[in-house]
Structure 1
Amino acid sequence: MEEPVSTPGLPARTFKAASKTTANDQVFSSSPGFGTPAYPIKTRPPNVANTFAAQSNATTSVHGAPTVLPILLPPQTLRPVAFRTLTKKHNLTLTSSGLGLLSTFVGRYCGSGWREEGLAERVLDEIAKAWKKSGGGLLIEDGPDKKLSNILKMLEPCMSGGRLDTGKLSRTNSSVGSPSLSRSGSFANRPDVTRDDSQTSLGLSALDMDGNASGDYGEEEDSHPDTRSYLRLISAFDQPRLIYSTSKKSLEPANGTASLLPPIQHKFSMFRNRYHLVHQRLMRNESFQAPSFSTATRPPNLLHSASSLTTQQNAYKITPISNLLGRSGTSHLLLGMLAHSAAGDLALTDLSGSVVLDLSIARPIPEDGAWFCPGMIVLVEGTYEEDGSHNSNLGTAAGVGGQIKGVFAADTLAGPPAERRALTLGISNATGAQTLHANVGAGFGWIDFLGLGSEKAIGSQMRRVQRRVFGPSPQTVPTVADAEEEQESEPARCKIAILGECTLDSARTLEAIRAILSSYHTSSSGHVSSLPLSIILMGNFGSAASMAGSTKGGGSVEYKEHFDALASVLSEFSFLLANVTFVFVPGDNDPWASSFSAGAATMVPRMGVPEVFTSRVRRAVATANTEIHGSGGGGKVKDAVKGEVIWASNPARMCLFGPVEEIVLFRDDITGRFRRHAVTFARAENEGDEEEQHHRQQQSQSQSQSLSDPNGDDMHEDDEIHAATSHVPVAKPSSSSSPSVQAARKLIKTLIDQSHLSPFPLHARPQLWDHASSLSLYPLPTALVLCDAEMPAFAITYEGCHVMNVGRVIDELALRKDSRGSGLARWIEYDCRRARGEERSVRF
């Protein structure tokens, strides 16, 4: 038998033997530092001479780049290079799941030269840039959306010879096009990524991303876009569920799906997440940042130092409650939640324990400027006094986590200072002569709070769209070119009308709604640009709880008849229905929650009004769209957005231009709940006398003013009659020193400082544990719309957030005073361009 022919310089043929061996039988190096070939190793073909020559000729690819032999790269081997490139250079944090994907990708496409030739650093640098552009956040991980996997799939065809071909990458990106918010075009040219994946990777799916491939907004100067195409309403149950991670110092999505009946652990995590958010917000504040070299002779005091102008020597330091053990007679600053102990005493609780509070000499900061109720997270400054009757320093729960012995004598109580939206998102915002610099941390600009895209991903792009639609801001001085452009083009729609306490079972309410709609219909004169963007009607839509077993509230048939009566009123204004977005926010008396609550406090967030009661209203809007726009796609009005009606949840968020403008809508009689659960403080002896004297002085001044101007009421009535005859809504000025304004400021400061819509215990205001993140006001919205029927209407700005209370649509006090029997309808008109709200009124 002849010997097999062998190639010079190569071992003899043993292909049959090699074909019988498997990859598991091969011996590999045990050191992870070496590049081990990937499984399996292919055997050489029988024609050794021809194959060896073919391989020698194929060492370079078609484009001249050498081929790469894939290797198995252990994740721990790539970790130092990834830390140097991603963390130190791009300020990103790599998780274990992300490290596993990156090590597989680098080992497959960079080969054995990943370290010596520096191939891995270049590839990781491009991956970090792509991750930031997609709005991935601070953590690089392959979550449920497979964002990292989609980025790696996009880079696969651009890899050549272990290097990333920038030419291919640029051509791929140009074919994809930059994200656009116009209403035509697609992402169909993106390789290896579907349309849905491309939109969800940027968080832009909810913004109806159908833009052209160019992505240049300057090309559409001829056509004035409808502002309503950038208006989105987000339900509380569709908002992303985010929790704060203390180890990663960032917000991340919650694991699992939300449930209405979650396990008991989710209740604890709900309060724990609130505490972590407030605590990290304080640590970002300059007043709580400890200096490197301190020369302070005494600790700072909340009563005698400003929160925003605290020097480095007076930096505050928060002490955990468990650290009070054995430190009797010392002064401390505590951060915790007010709660009632098992014995009924008011206590302060944090993650380490709780302590009973002594408020006999405590003073609130500011004086009568905020509410303090159980369930709120507050700052308490005082002295710890240990109970001398016990020899042990351990609490009743045998250590850390329980209630410690002794009493904490509080000197001052204050809410945690609020943080502006610009600082939270890590952006700079110029307000007049002052400029806010985000020098307290990186911020959360890469976090997608609403599912529409993060601020760092699409914020600058959407602000360009906002300037193109609205023009220059009112604070800036317009140029001659801007003035000419405004004269040539129609003014953009930027108004939102908000009506509160629309009890549809009252005929007076229906007349008031008809008068308000008639005023807008008359002032528009057939021009769409004069109409508001949206008209928001906030409940309660019934004066009593519906389907609760009482004869006053009525059943399901009566409740549906109320909305049928509203549909007949809306049908009179077809032009409004076809060009305005109507939003309905329910209250506690609306179904289905009122069926078992009987008008008491229901669980928040809550669903919108069921569709079974709203069929007639939806039919009226569809009929108006057919009459105005026609049954076809274009209709009578070219490129017009059809009217729509949205049955929102409570609370709900209305967004304009993505994350740029955020408006929170919330219906709740929250002022009365604050008064019922507020903590009372002992007043000084002389303080009551001074307040009585001041009150008497105010009464004497008001009486003298009324005597000096006896015709003031007649003049006020003449202005109202002129407004009623002209059918133009007018703003009603309000006095800044009235008690209603002081009560409004007290309510605003309490909510904004707590950064929560329901800072109450669960027995006072039940909450859905898995959806409690939708009640958070962090970061602060651009505007907060409250509907508190027990408070008069107001519009006040605090810490950059414009807070408005709608009040009641019918002024019942004016109705009783008017002998002619006419009514006065009141509502709030919010200007999105100036971020300001004004109170409007019209007679009917």
Structure 2
Amino acid sequence: MVSLMRAAIVKVFSTKYSLTLPAAALNYIEQVLIENEIPEDEWIVGLEFWAKEYLKGEESSSLVSLPALKKAYESLQLGTTDDVATADPSEVNVESYFSVVDAFDMPPVHFDAVRGGFVPGRWKPSVAGQASSRSAFLRERWGIIKEIILRNENFTPPALGGHDRANYLKLTSIRNLLGRAGQLFLLFGMLSRDPEGKLCLEDGEGRVVLDMQDAVPGEGLFTEGCMVLIEGEYTLEETIRVLAMGHPPSEKRDVARGLHGHVDFLGGGAMSLKEEQKYLPTIQANTQVSFVILSDVWLDHPRTIPALRRMFEGYAEAVEYRPMAFVLCGNFSQKGWEGEGGLKRYTNAFNALTDLLFEFPLLHSSHFIFVPGPLDPWSSTTFPRPAIPSVFASRLTQRIPKARFVSNPCRIRYFGMELVICREDLMSKMVRNLVGVKKEGEADMKRYLVQTILDQTHLSPLPISIRPTLWEYDHALRLYPMPSSVVLADKYERYELTYEGCHVFNPGRFVGSGSETGGEFEWSMYYPATGRSERSALSLE
């Protein structure tokens, strides 16, 4: 039968449409036909549709690529082609469009300032990193934001001459300040410190000391490492007397996807904005799909396992609305894993969780995703952080079929949506390192934090001396193109808000204050159909 199937595939793809099938593509087609139990008399018709759909794709070539072949198959499943009758969106197998992306599996995509676009990396990233990578990742971050600024309507000169042509905002490089004391300038660069500890602005071409005495910060949090726009006067002392400071403008997801839809940022194949929009009816029709997101699941806390049992019982009873995924973020130990008996205590805690999950076979169709926190093994100050070691995870992954331990941060891809999950005490780090913020009475710290990371297009806009990052994995921390949603799991109080179309929320600690004596255990439910989250809670009383 396999030989007959292969002959039918070659007849359609190679003989009729002159396409060359590599072994991986041929095996994938065979796998699809077998898994879907397609009758032999329907092979040719189905393969005809598939080949035609492949040739319509933007990435089609005579040598068939596996990602493009998969895209064509997905389009046929969704019924979004002219040749296939429209399928009922609620009947599409949404499970096949769900995936979890580990930060260390994301392809290295670098920003080329000359081309103004992204190019794939030439070599595999290394944890140690080459010496040249030390400055390259900062130049790339600066280049990405500068391109966003120059595309903004306030910085774009009119195509035709006239009075309006003189009114657009113009950036000046630091090296062009010399000899122009007493004039006002608009600068873009990174906040840093010089060897004497003075606050400076760097733009890749030079550095200038900032006089912040008269500065009026805009909305957001300003720390060293942030890329900022500064308006100020160049003085005879060769400093900038800052009058105003603000974050760069953000770029909405649709705009960025329209420009860079051909780039494969996550490693699952590039998806154009047009393709992404095809999925919207299916996403909106499947309102029952949800993700449960918990943070600070202290497994060594005496009331955590009973609270988890109560929560799992509730979801197991909801036949039609069982979550597609449970995302459990660390820390998974209240005291950390270090110290006397720490490793044994940590191992026993995960064994108890494994036994608990095994009691609910109805939930085994859901994905269980574990994201490490700052105190989980093996603790490291670098970012991104690897997954919890297999010595703790192996028993759970062997008994629970869809359990996966991933990096911090990680990403969930659901159709064309992207959900970034980051477990980091970011609010406290940003506040401790502020160099400027509006007066306390005027500041909405939650909104300012969200605005800062999205305007900075990065999960950690701090210098590496404060928040060390793995140079060659900095691309895994980017928030460009802007994700659909971001989870900022933080020990800070819970919140949920939307900025420039991106929904950002903190689920709060699962084991909150008062849990020792009762209190509530809280988490968040995220619904892709609406792109919004809502609070959930229970009490053991």
TM-score by length of 1: 0.55
Say if 1:795 and 1:679 are closer, same or farther in 2 by CA, change over 3 A: same
Identity of aligned residues (%): 31
> Which residue of the partner structure matches residue 655 of structure 1?
413
Q: Is structure 2 residue 433 aligned with structure 1 residue 646? A: no
CA distance in 2, matches of 1:808, 1:518: 20
Consecutive unaligned residues in structure 1, runs of 5 or more: 1-129, 131-144, 151-170, 181-189, 297-310, 388-405, 427-442, 472-490, 623-643, 695-738
List per-residue Cα deviations over 1:642-661 (Å, max 9, x = no partner): xx11111111110011xx20
Q: Is structure 2 residue 418 aligned with structure 1 residue 568? A: no
> Which residue of the partner structure matches residue 842 of structure 1?
538
Say if 1:545 and 1:217 are closer, same or farther in 2 by CA, change over 3 A: farther
Q: Which of these residues, 533, 550, 564, is aligned with residue 324 of structure 2? A: 533
Q: Which of these residues, 464, 474, 491, is aligned with residue 278 of structure 2? A: 464
Deviation at 1:805, TM superposition (A): 0.6
Contact 1:757 1:775 in 2 (8 A): yes
Say if 1:681 and 1:662 are closer, same or farther in 2 by CA, change over 3 A: closer
Q: Is structure 2 residue 423 aligned with structure 1 residue 667? A: yes
CA distance in 2, matches of 1:749, 1:504: 33
Say if 1:222 and 1:228 are closer, same or farther in 2 by CA, change over 3 A: closer
CA distance in 1, matches of 2:294, 2:463: 29
**Aligned partner of 1:842: which letter?**
L
Higher RCO, Cα 8 Å, sep 6+ = 2
CA distance in 1, matches of 2:465, 2:78: 52
Q: Which of these residues, 234, 238, 242, is aligned with residue 410 of structure 1? A: 242
Say if 1:217 and 1:563 are closer, same or farther in 2 by CA, change over 3 A: farther
CA distance in 1, matches of 2:289, 2:431: 36
CA distance in 2, matches of 1:772, 1:562: 32
CA distance in 2, matches of 1:743, 1:681: 10
Deviation at 1:608, TM superposition (A): 0.8
Contact 1:179 1:211 in 2 (8 A): no
Deviation at 1:203, TM superposition (A): 7.8
List per-residue Cα deviations over 1:652-694 (Å, max 9, x = no partner): 110011xx200000000000001111014697xxxx9xx6xx9
Q: Which of these residues, 195, 199, 208, is aligned with residue 66 of structure 2? A: 199
Deviation at 1:465, TM superposition (A): 4.4
Deviation at 1:520, TM superposition (A): 1.4
SS class of match (1:318) = coil
List per-residue Cα deviations over 1:117-149 (Å, max 9, x = no partner): xxxxxxxxxxxxx9xxxxxxxxxxxxxx9xxxx
Deviation at 1:618, TM superposition (A): 2.0
Contact 1:217 1:465 in 2 (8 A): no
Consecutive unaligned residues in structure 2, runs of 5 or more: 1-18, 26-45
List per-residue Cα deviations over 1:334-383 (Å, max 9, x = no partner): 000000001110000011100000000101113xxx11000010001000
> Which residue of the partner structure matches residue 105 of structure 1?
none
CA distance in 2, matches of 1:807, 1:572: 26
CA distance in 2, matches of 1:344, 1:668: 27
CA distance in 2, matches of 1:833, 1:213: 19
> Which residue of the partner structure matches residue 808 of structure 1?
509
Q: Is structure 2 residue 120 aligned with structure 1 residue 253? A: yes
Q: Is structure 2 residue 206 aligned with structure 1 residue 420? A: no
Contact 2:79 2:85 in 1 (8 A): no
Say if 1:384 and 1:492 are closer, same or farther in 2 by CA, change over 3 A: closer
> Which residue of the partner structure matches residue 325 of structure 1?
178
List per-residue Cα deviations over 1:554-583 (Å, max 9, x = no partner): 443322111001112212211012x21111
Deviation at 1:208, TM superposition (A): 8.9
- State how 1:657-696 maps to structure 2 within 5 Å: 657=415, 660-680=416-436
SS class of match (1:841) = strand
RMSD: 3.1
Q: Is structure 2 residue 155 aligned with structure 1 residue 288? A: yes
List per-residue Cα deviations over 1:441-485 (Å, max 9, x = no partner): xx22222222233332xx5445434424642xxxxxxxxxxxxxx
Contact 1:512 1:810 in 2 (8 A): no
CA distance in 2, matches of 1:469, 1:807: 27
> Which residue of the partner structure matches residue 120 of structure 1?
none
- State how 1:138-537 maps to structure 2 within 5 Å: 176-178=51-53, 193=63, 198-201=65-68, 218=85, 221=88, 224-291=91-158, 313-366=166-219, 370-387=220-237, 406-426=238-258, 443-456=259-272, 459-461=273-275, 463-468=277-282, 470-471=284-285, 493-522=288-317, 524=318, 527=319, 529-537=320-328
SS class of match (2:383) = coil
Deviation at 1:543, TM superposition (A): 1.7
SS class of match (2:223) = coil
> Which residue of the partner structure matches residue 433 of structure 1?
none
Deviation at 1:324, TM superposition (A): 0.3
**Aligned partner of 2:117: which letter?**
S
SS class of match (2:303) = helix
Contact 1:605 1:651 in 2 (8 A): yes
**Aligned partner of 2:473: which letter?**
H
Say if 1:570 and 1:355 are closer, same or farther in 2 by CA, change over 3 A: same
Deviation at 1:292, TM superposition (A): 5.0
SS class of match (2:230) = strand
Which of the pair is proportionally richer in strand?
2
**Aligned partner of 1:537: which letter?**
L
Q: Is structure 2 residue 372 aligned with structure 1 residue 586? A: yes
Stretch deviating more after TM superposition (607-616 or 756-765)? 607-616
SS class of match (1:839) = strand
Q: Which of these residues, 303, 314, 335, is aligned with residue 544 of structure 1? A: 335
TM-score by length of 2: 0.84
Deviation at 1:226, TM superposition (A): 3.4
CA distance in 1, matches of 2:159, 2:417: 39
Say if 1:203 and 1:607 are closer, same or farther in 2 by CA, change over 3 A: farther
SS class of match (1:614) = helix
List per-residue Cα deviations over 1:614-652 (Å, max 9, x = no partner): 223223324xxxxxxxxxxxxxxxxxxxxx111111111
Q: Is structure 2 residue 460 aligned with structure 1 residue 794? A: no
> Which residue of the partner structure matches residue 395 of structure 1?
none
> Which residue of the partner structure matches residue 754 of structure 1?
456
> Which residue of the partner structure matches residue 9 of structure 2?
none
